[in-house]
Amino acid sequence: MKLCLSGFLFEHAYQHCDVAFPDFVALAKCHGFDGVELRRTQVSVETPLDQVRAMRRVVEDHGLFVNCLESRGMPSEEPQRSVFVESLLERAALLNARMIKIGVPLPGDFTWFRRIADRAEEQGIRLGTNNHVGAMTETVIGAQQAFRAVNHRNYGLLFDCLHLWVCGENYVGAVARLAPHLINVLVHAVRPAREDDTVCVNREGRRFAATTIDDSESQNWQAIFTALRSVNFEGPITVNEHTEEESLRARIVETYPRLIRKWWAVAA
């Protein structure tokens, strides 16, 4: 298991990253992460190529790897959409990134997804979609339908139990059902909202509040990791939390690696 830290933790309103890139990488290294996921606020299709090469050197100098880039901001129309993806693939290749996280396909997108999966495969880069509320992948059946429709060996799933739980799915049982498609696991926590909580998700009356993975009311992480090990999952696990509270950011970076590695070891 390789543990990765997403820059999402330090993102401010999806507009910028509050931590300079070298400091982000050093922080990940200091707290025992193996790799990093980079957000659009850290590297985008507009980032100069020389800067991208310098970013790779920073990552490799710390003994880490770039696990994933995101495609946020991708146009919906052609040819702009394909141009965007080609630019992102170029930067992913320069960073020696292992995958690109792309939006969930819509009906009519499946042929295009196969073509982009081909282009990514030519450069040794995986293409992946996560479970997400409001998309085909919000349920197990919907996710299975999406992967059958795209039907490409280089297109996989970033397993996101948070979105499955919010949509009323058995997220532990989902591991085995989605096992053939798993390429990454995302870790971020919610719990059923209390009366005085700030609700972060309200799905058909199911109200959830943000929390951390050490909250006993959040997802059953030990059961999730046990299920993952039972299907021989060996891919990366990414801490994908988000908060703009500095003290909570620090606690997440400090405590999550220990907790995740403990649960992973117990699941063996």
What are the sequence ranges of the domains in the chain?
Answer: 2-266
Strand intervals (E) in 141-251:
155-160, 182-187, 189-192, 201-203, 206-211, 236-239
pLDDT of residue 14: 93
The fold of 2-266 is TIM Barrel (3.20.20)
Kindly give the residue spans of alpha helices, DSSP state H, lying in 62-155.
80-94, 110-122, 140-150
**Can you tell me which residue has the tokens 């996560």?**
130
Which tokens go with 250?
Answer: 């620090």
209: Cβ contacts below 8 Å, ≥ 6 apart: 190, 191, 192, 193, 194, 197, 198, 199, 200
Enumerate residue ranges in the chain where pLDDT < 70.
Answer: none
Query: Is the pTM for the entire model greater than 0.85?
Result: yes
pLDDT of residue 207: 95
Rg of the chain over Cα atoms, rounded to whole angstroms, equals 18
